[in-house]
Structure 1
């Protein structure tokens, strides 16, 4: 498993200047034609979202008062509860509004036909399955990888690739207030 702390990941500005992205993982690494990608985005102002044709996306509010995503004729959705995922097609041209100011979201993207993703809020141990990729992002409390791995707190987590050796043990909660987002990224073929 690969450990990360969002605050130490380099931030890249969006093309439209409306926010910044901190990439957790992109596989295969270093290519625009990713199979799957996980990042944390800071959305600083209202504006358009970039389209990603052929990609399915899942956004989950992490901090802030929320973000309203609209696509005329498709949906108008306010993401106002932290830890509640919302999936949509990356083919759509979306607009984002920030009714309460800047916010932070977890962004999972998978190439349609190659991967699928399921994002769930969890409070119990998570054991990644062999052949699957994924991300565990800590929302609150303390978590630990295996029996002697580092203790993870809010904004930290782990990711693994489908080609990685199956992790030994699970990622386990250590405190009663422990909550995390688990993105299980599954190959389709």
Structure 2
């Protein structure tokens, strides 16, 4: 049985971006310790503090979701993508092959990011506000976005979560308040 790892947003390492426009806190990646050009999947939280281009990740499917802040406008210069990421807890999927640019809609924002390598993995990203059974997945991440959640035998409060790799896990998610929200990321073979 795989090991489940607890994490807290408050204790994740903060890595500045090379372009100075923000920071990233990696929650988990697989294989563990893989570089940005060799991961199979990666889940992180980013702080976008300045307008500018997103890094291009060829062969990667991406999903981004606003956690806190005013949000950003995501766009391509050829007009194919035009999206306001200004509503919290609504995932937006796009290709890492696209040259995405962004402008701030106000101050800095925090965003939840999921990346999977085409042909290897795909991610199902859902935000839950009610009790639910989360189908088995060999890899995944659960993060309490608001309120506290009972996840099988574990309790995660806002900003806390669990991740696992390399063995199927099934979860029973039970909110402890009406306004509770949980992001559930199931990562399965492509």
Tell me the TM-score normalised to structure 1 length. Answer: 0.91
Per the TM alignment, residue 165 of structure 1 is displaced from its structure 2 partner at its CA by 5.4
For 2:137 and 2:186, the matched residues in 1 are separated by 11
Per the TM alignment, residue 170 of structure 1 is displaced from its structure 2 partner at its CA by 2.0
145, 151, 154: which one aligns with 2:151? 145
1:156 paired residue number: 160
- 1:6-155 equivalences in 2 (<5 Å): 6-32=9-35, 33-73=38-78, 74-147=80-153, 149=154, 151-155=155-159
Per-residue CA deviation, residues 56-89 of structure 1 (Å, 9 max, x unaligned), is 0000000001111111222111011000000000
**SS of residue matched to 2:10:** helix
Measured on the aligned residues, the alpha-carbon RMSD in Å equals 1.5
For 1:87 and 1:113, the matched residues in 2 are separated by 17
Per the TM alignment, residue 137 of structure 1 is displaced from its structure 2 partner at its CA by 1.6
For 1:126 and 1:132, the matched residues in 2 are separated by 18
Say whether the 8 Å CA contact 2:73–2:85 is kept in structure 1. Answer: yes
For 1:158 and 1:124, the matched residues in 2 are separated by 18
* 5+ residue gaps, structure 2: none
Per-residue CA deviation, residues 86-112 of structure 1 (Å, 9 max, x unaligned), is 000001111111111100000000001
For 2:128 and 2:86, the matched residues in 1 are separated by 18
CA distance 1:55–1:165, change in 2 (3 Å): closer
**SS of residue matched to 2:169:** coil
**SS of residue matched to 2:50:** coil
* 5+ residue gaps, structure 1: none
For 2:131 and 2:138, the matched residues in 1 are separated by 17
Per-residue CA deviation, residues 149-189 of structure 1 (Å, 9 max, x unaligned), is 2x32222111122x13535x52321122111111121112x
Matched, 1:2 2:5: yes
For 2:136 and 2:85, the matched residues in 1 are separated by 32
Per the TM alignment, residue 120 of structure 1 is displaced from its structure 2 partner at its CA by 1.3
CA distance 1:84–1:16, change in 2 (3 Å): same
